[in-house]
Structure 1
């Protein structure tokens, strides 16, 4: 399958590498199929989650641990069913990140913005995902200094 990405051009992706988000992502419900792409020849710390349905929809994602964050939350029975999850070992958690320029939030806000309240949960075996919106702080977030 060929996927168009404004950042990487047209990328050839095997059909078994497509991640299905049955409910889409909040605000992008029409996009249900995504692929992970990254720059060739470099270790991937940040991936581009590129929609296979709309080339203009893409998100930079990374593992919370890359930012020194331990993120723990509970999946409901409905979440487990949606993900077709049989084993916790098949779960990958990622967060959407974006860079913020000083012109967006002023000099004090320039840097990286990460959405810890809506992590992506992916069943790596079944290649199904969802965005788990955490409406209240019932999860545990631990920040660790990297060094």
Structure 2
């Protein structure tokens, strides 16, 4: 199927590339289907693109590329809702707030996206009782 995207123009995607957020993403509850698109010449940042709304795309990253000690406990409700069987089936991503200059970009470590790679089901997990915040500097973390 062809979709219009915010950063990549028109893209051809396969049904198996659709990630389903059954409850949407907080603030975007009506948006249920997304796909991950790579940026050219880049293996760290991705666009989490809505299938139905071309202008809705989140820049995301693997938190472990920047925050080596990032530690998330996935609650039983999320494990059950996403039918997670093994740790290897899980991909964690964090939504970025892209700033200008780019070096001031921050990551939302308090609300990671949890994706079951086997089923392509996902949800945003809101962490409580952790030191993580919604705006952690990406590049200060990398320098530390």
The alignment's TM-score, normalised by the length of structure 1, stands at: 0.83
Check the 8 A contact 1:97/1:114 in 2, yes or no.
yes
Report the counterpart of residue 34 of structure 1 in structure 2. Answer: 34
Output one character per residue of 1:11-41: Cα deviation in whole Å (capped at 9) or x when no partner.
100100111011110000111100011234x
The structure with the largest strand share of the pair is 1
Report the counterpart of residue 134 of structure 1 in structure 2. Answer: 127
Whole-angstrom CA distance in 2 between matches of 1:101 and 1:138: 26
Structure of greater Rg: 1
User: Do residues 76 (structure 1) and 69 (structure 2) align?
Assistant: no
Corresponding residue SS for 2:88: helix
Output one character per residue of 1:62-105: Cα deviation in whole Å (capped at 9) or x when no partner.
01111133322222221111111111110011111122237xxx
Report the counterpart of residue 106 of structure 1 in structure 2. Answer: none
Report the counterpart of residue 6 of structure 2 in structure 1. Answer: 6
Corresponding residue SS for 1:72: coil
Report the counterpart of residue 105 of structure 1 in structure 2. Answer: none
Q: Give the number of equivalent residue pairs.
A: 137
Report the counterpart of residue 118 of structure 2 in structure 1. Answer: 125
Check the 8 A contact 1:84/1:123 in 2, yes or no.
yes
Corresponding residue SS for 1:89: helix
The alignment's TM-score, normalised by the length of structure 2, stands at: 0.84
Report the counterpart of residue 18 of structure 1 in structure 2. Answer: 18
Check the 8 A contact 1:35/1:50 in 2, yes or no.
yes
Structure 2 residue ranges without an equivalent (≥5): 133-139
